Amino acid sequence: MSANSFNQLLLTLCSPSWDAGPWLAKIPRKKWPDTLPLLWKLAQKVEKGALLKSLTRSQKNQLLQQLRSLTPRKKGKRSDSIKLETLFLIETASLRIAEQLGKKSSWIEKRKWCLRWFNSPSFLKLTEGVLFSDECIDRVLGLFERKVQHRLKNSTLPQTYQEEALYLDLDPEDLYTPYRVICRWGKSLKLKPGTKVVDLGSGVGRIPLTLGLLYPKVQFTGIEIMRERHEMAEKTRCGLKLRNVSFVCRNAAKRGLPIADYYYFFNPFVGDTLRQVFRQLKQFSSHRSFKVAVAQIELPWKFIQRLNWLKPVQEFSADKAWEGIGITVFSTSAA
């Protein structure tokens, strides 16, 4: 059995939307691993996403033990034969099963877990094939974009939301900056203590939460119009006890944006909102310097390229390392 097939199987445990069936079907029975016989047996039978649901309580306990035995807890004792990607999935699957068994992991545990991954140089090396792991991290942090979208699709949108780009039909992986890109960008900023970073249109808060954990002496603010996303971000911020992070629920187009050293845009606004946000930033630029980092997606990148008071100063091209996204950093002329 290849490592990839094993990962696919683990993934069905981590993410209900993932279907390992096609991979499993290709694996000859004699090649099944002896490590997780229970899991393999069941995985052949169940429907997409139903693997974990189909297990009884005692089977879940058994599985949890089996998974944990693959990754000895003590520091330095981890088996080198397990690849980082697999390790990541084993940990996430274990967390998810434990939660289903009512053994809720504490925020302290979650915090440690995330910090270990975000700080690991090998985490940054994981690309493309493991894009799915973002959904696993969201799950650990309690950021359930799908739940928000589901709730809103079934209700009438409040008037305040109607003019905005809310992306209610996008998967979290298209709507949010991937965690590895966030960590990479954070590293590239070489942030000094006291620096202020604002994520405009912060959604469920991936950026302020991730960078807030990594850089406790830097101030991060997320501005989000949608109350449902804002509340999810705020709940996780409180759980993680991040004093250097704040979330504000408001329309970014309205006057009163916070002053910052960096503003980040991941395609959050259209039309009037985009113009009004930049009108405010232009006013700030007359008395202080700052940078604006923009994901290289048509809007607002094209719009910003045309503003003569902002100059491009740094470029991370949309290659594999940046997961096809890439970021351009603009600076106010005075900076």
Ligand X SMILES: C[S@@+](CC[C@H](N)C(=O)[O-])C[C@H]1O[C@@H](n2cnc3c(N)ncnc32)[C@H](O)[C@@H]1O
51 binds ligand X (CB under 6 A): no
Output 32 or 264, the one with its CB closest to ligand X. 264
CB of 84 to ligand X, least distance (A): 24
226 binds ligand X (CB under 6 A): yes
Output 203 or 326, the one with its CB closest to ligand X. 203
User: How many alpha carbons lie under 13 Å from residue 9 in its C-beta half-sphere?
Assistant: 25
CB of 295 to ligand X, least distance (A): 7
Output 110 or 229, the one with its CB closest to ligand X. 229
Of 22-30, 58-66, 78-86, 202-210: span binding ligand X (CB under 6 A): 202-210
Of 49-57, 121-129, 135-143, 197-205: span binding ligand X (CB under 6 A): 197-205
Of 85-93, 130-138, 218-226, 321-329: span binding ligand X (CB under 6 A): 218-226
201 binds ligand X (CB under 6 A): yes
CB of 195 to ligand X, least distance (A): 18
Output 60 or 139, the one with its CB closest to ligand X. 139
Output 55 or 277, the one with its CB closest to ligand X. 277
User: How many alpha carbons lie under 13 Å from residue 224 in its C-beta half-sphere?
Assistant: 24
Contact characters 144-183, ligand X, x per CB under 6 A: --------------------xxxx-------xxx------
Give the separation between CA 138 and CA 212, rounded to whole angstroms: 15
Q: Under the rule (CB under 6 A), what is the footprint of ligand X? A: 164-167, 175-177, 199, 201-203, 206-207, 223-226, 229, 251-253, 266-269, 273
